[in-house]
């Protein structure tokens, strides 16, 4: 927490972190939790008590008849959970266009369904709503994704961005991460900053500003680079 009590025209916040990440456990996406029928992953009893809140719809409902209809093809009876996740991830990736600036943090899932476009947070929230519509516990995860430059190009500094993906709970208290924006499961390239029921639980920065200004502009720059042997490979 911090406070700026003096008048100012700009506020710049710089955060630097060295984060250690590990590859997923070998059987995370191919073990008993992932291969069991998806219905078994619904949280019940004492084991699922802490996950139950992640099954609930939001204050502004996201689970609509249209949402249920969109989710239905992925959730055939008895299908292994991992197959459900792969199918749902691939369908969102194929059915929706990534368009930067097309939505805001206030955009509802119903609007994304209608427009068939959005950004990572929209696709994560769509996947979460589909999972919750079928009784599964799903969380919104905010963090960063290390990206690689095009072949033959140098890595550019500051071109990465805050990323968002979804994660689903299993009865073994394992969470399986899925990224519909990139049509893949989450691995060691993903850096988790926080997770919650929705974006409002885990914004990268939160605060209050008192101002006479009629407008303001936010500019964000992110860089994720390997750090090996005490050297940052940016």
List, for residues 118-166, the tens digit of each pLDDT value: 999 999 999 999 999 999 999 999 999 887 777 777 665 545 778 999 9
Mean pLDDT (the chain) is: 90
- Fold exhibited by the domain 32-146+156-228: C8orf32 fold (3.10.620)
Measure the CA–CA gap between 37 and 26, rounded to whole angstroms. 20
At which residue do the structure tokens 């609509």 appear?
64
Q: What is the mean pLDDT of residues 4-14?
A: 89
Share of the chain above pLDDT 70, in %: 95
Q: What was the pLDDT predicted at 156?
A: 54
Q: Look up residue 188 and give its DSSP letter.
A: T
Choose the most confident range, by mean pLDDT, from 5-14, 108-117, 205-214. 108-117
List, for residues 41-71, the tens digit of each pLDDT value: 999 988 889 999 999 999 889 999 999 999 9
Q: Which of 108-117, 135-144, 184-193, 217-226 has the lowest mean pLDDT?
A: 217-226
Structural domain spans, the chain: 32-146+156-228
Q: Tell me, letter by letter, the H, E, C secondary structure of 199-234.
A: HHHCCCCCCCCCCCCCCCCCCCCECCCCEECCEECC
Task: List the structure tokens of 82.
Answer: 């991992």
């Amino acid at each position: 927490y911090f406070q700026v009590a003096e008048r100012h025209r700009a506020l710049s916040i710089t955060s630097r972190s060295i984060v250690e990440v590990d590859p997923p456990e070998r059987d995370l996406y191919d073990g008993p939790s992932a291969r069991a029928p998806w219905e078994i992953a619904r949280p019940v009893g004492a084991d699922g008590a802490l996950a139950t809140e992640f099954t609930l719809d939001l204050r502004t409902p996201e689970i609509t008849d249209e949402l249920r209809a969109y989710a239905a093809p992925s959730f055939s009876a008895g299908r292994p959970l991992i197959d459900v996740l792969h199918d749902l991830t691939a369908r969102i990736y194929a059915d929706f266009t990534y368009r930067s600036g097309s939505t805001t943090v206030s955009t509802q899932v119903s609007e994304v369904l209608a427009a068939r476009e959005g950004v990572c947070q929209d696709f994560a929230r769509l996947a979460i709503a589909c999972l919750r519509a079928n009784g599964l516990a799903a969380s919104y995860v905010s963090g960063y994704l290390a990206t690689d430059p095009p072949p033959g190009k140098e890595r550019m500094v500051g071109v990465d961005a805050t990323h968002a993906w979804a994660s689903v709970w299993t009865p073994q208290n394992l969470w399986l991460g899925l990224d519909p924006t990139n049509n893949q499961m989450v691995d060691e390239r993903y850096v988790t900053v926080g997770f919650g029921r929705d974006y409002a639980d885990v914004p990268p920065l939160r605060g209050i500003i008192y101002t006479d200004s009629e407008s303001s502009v936010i500019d964000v720059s992110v860089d994720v680079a390997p750090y090996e042997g005490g050297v940052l490979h940016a």
